[in-house]
Amino acid sequence: MKLTNMELNKFNFTMKKELETLVYMYSSFLKRKYGMKVFRVGLSTGLTCPHRIKTGGCIFCHPATFTGEYQSAVFSIEEQLNKAVPRIKKTCGAVKLLAYFQDETSTAGELVYLDKKYRSAVEHPDIIGLIVSTRPEYVNQKIIDLLKSYNVPVTIEIGLQTAKEESLKFLNRGHDLNDVKKAINLCEQNHLDLGVHIIIGIPGETIEDMQNTIQFINSCQTIKEIKFHNLVVYKQTPLAVLYQQNKFKILNIDEYISILCQLIPYLRGDIVISRFFTSNIRRTQIALGDYSGSKPEWLNKLRLALIQQNIFQGCKTGKPYQP
Ligand code: SF4
């Protein structure tokens, strides 16, 4: 039986509420931290990623997957906000916003240029905080001082992807774990919250490797947020060439959820999970592999799997999640 839109929304709402009792979701974190409705608005500095320009970039990277329609170098920050904010308010009501510089390497520019971009965002009356996504080696004291100068809550996000050195090399990340540790230490010394992205399904990684990555994250108190990504193979990437040569298999959603269920119990309960699935799998139409279903359906599968296995975030750590 096909559900009406209203029934579907009600189901998704109830499903999300139940998931919030099992894992520390971003929505719960925002409610706790700000006590009001807060959303992220994706913005672009207009900078590109130096690693991609210099080396061709990470073997999985496809820039078309991280550029939204109002995130374009041709628009100023004011223009991006003028387009995005009314749309968010129309859908979500009266909300405050976090400016999320999410594409490319959002700190890889001259300080004067970056200051202009970040400042334009924080001066908007609805913006109450900043999130800046970057590579580990582009986190330095000058960038941190600049971000702190705005006197708003700041989170730096870096692509960790994995704590296994061989995998970092395989992915052509162009940095090693030591670079990640340096960025983590700098954030810690400066009392800045850090979020990390990790990828599940990297060819050659075992479940123990992935659990080691979780243990590494647990050991860094300054890491407050994690984004899980299932490895998605986009056409016209070096990873797609390896896939077409049958060098590895892409995880389907059920296999991926099964792995998540082997990681979530080991993740410290106070780390916010702000993503469970790679975004933009569908929109770009350039992903290889089978992604039948929708994100709410996948989240529901995850919820059911956690309940069936009687597990929740951090249940196998000394710091279980407390809803
Ligand atoms: S660091 Fe990010 S933007 Fe740069 S090549 Fe790698 S995935 Fe792409």
**Residue 236 has which token pair?**
């016209």
CA distance to 122, 256, 301, per residue, from 16 (Å)? 30, 19, 12
Ligand 1 residue neighbourhood (C-beta within 6 Å): 49, 51-52, 57-58, 61, 104-105, 135, 159
Ligand 1 centroid – CA 6 distance (Å):
39
Alpha-carbon span 173 to 58, nearest angstrom: 5
- Written as tens digits, the pLDDT of the chain (323 aa) is 565 777 777 777 888 889 999 999 999 999 999 999 999 999 999 999 999 999 999 999 988 877 555 566 678 999 999 999 999 999 888 789 999 998 889 999 999 999 999 999 999 999 999 999 999 999 999 999 999 999 999 999 999 999 999 999 999 999 999 999 999 999 999 999 999 999 999 999 999 999 999 999 999 999 999 999 999 999 999 999 999 999 999 999 999 999 999 999 999 999 999 999 987 776 667 888 888 888 888 999 999 999 999 999 999 999 999 99
Question: Which one-letter amino acid corresponds to residue 292?
Answer: S
State residue 245's pLDDT score: 95
Pocket test for ligand 1, best of 44, 51, 229, 280 (most atoms within 8 A of CB): 51
State residue 282's pLDDT score: 65
Locate tokens 């579907």: which residue?
A: 8
Neighbours of 136 (CB within 10 A): 23
Q: Could you give all domains of the chain from N- to C-terminal order, each with its CATH number?
A: 5-308 (3.20.20.70)
Q: What angle is formed at CA 103 by the lines to CA 98 and CA 107, rounded to 5 degrees? A: 80
Instruction: Indicate the pTM of the whole model.
Output: 0.94
Neighbours of 67 (CB within 10 A): 17
CA distance to 143, 214, 230, 257, per residue, from 277 (Å)? 29, 16, 6, 9
